[in-house]
Amino acid sequence: MEKELTATDVQNKLTDYKDIIASFINLLQTENQALRDYNIEEVGRLYEHKVKTVGAYRSIVAFFIKHQELLAELPAEVRSELKSMTQQLDTLMKENDILLKSKMETSQSVMDSIVRLAKMTNKSNATAYGAEGSYSKVDNSKNSIAVNRTL
């Protein structure tokens, strides 16, 4: 059996909700700017904070989904403020999704180009040893290549 929520409990949850949304908005603004600036170090630095913020956001949203009547009972100006904050968050989340996908596709395209170039170079320069330890003609179509993806 679930205990009855007091007015203080509701106010605390509402404050937490606003704080989490504000923190998430700030985080996404910072990350989106870092993505626009190609500042991958900053994006990486924000990752752990983002994971924690998303977890807190999901938890508080789950609480309010379970207790929707609490939101319905709020004054109109508070509901309007929450709606505005969540719309701003939604816009930033969509932008973040687009920026992340764009950066990943660009990175993949660059890696594919590097690999193609390396294969072509390797194909023209590759040699192999024959059965008697001397150079022999190579079937260059089966050469392997390793790529360091941290570059």
Distance in angstroms (rounded) separating the CA atoms of residues 123 and 105: 27
Q: What six digits make up the tokens of 119?
A: 């294969």
Most confident of 60-64, 119-123, 127-131, 139-143: 60-64
Evaluate if pTM is beyond 0.85.
no
What digits encode the pLDDT tens for the residues 82-105?
A: 999 999 999 999 999 999 998 888
In this structure, is residue 57 part of a structural domain? Answer: yes
Ramachandran region, residue 111 (left: φ > 0; alpha: ψ -120 to 50; beta: rest): alpha
Mean pLDDT in residue range 10-34: 96
Mean pLDDT in residue range 6-13: 89
User: Which CATH number characterizes residue 115's domain?
Assistant: 1.20.58
Cβ atoms within 10 Å of 28's Cβ, excluding its own:
21
- Report how far apart the first and last C-alpha atoms of the chain are (Å, whole number): 55
Domain count, the chain: 1
Q: Is the pLDDT of residue 46 over 90?
A: yes
In this structure, is residue 101 part of a structural domain? Answer: yes
In this structure, is residue 151 part of a structural domain? Answer: no
In this structure, is residue 76 part of a structural domain? Answer: yes
Domain carrying residue 41: 7-142
In this structure, is residue 106 part of a structural domain? Answer: yes
In this structure, is residue 148 part of a structural domain? Answer: no
In this structure, is residue 2 part of a structural domain? Answer: no
How much is the pLDDT for 84? 97
Which among 33, 31, 60 has a CA at the least distance from the CA of 48?
A: 31
How much is the pLDDT for 53? 97
What does the mean pLDDT of the chain come to? 84
Distance in angstroms (rounded) separating the CA atoms of residues 62 and 51: 17
In this structure, is residue 38 part of a structural domain? Answer: yes
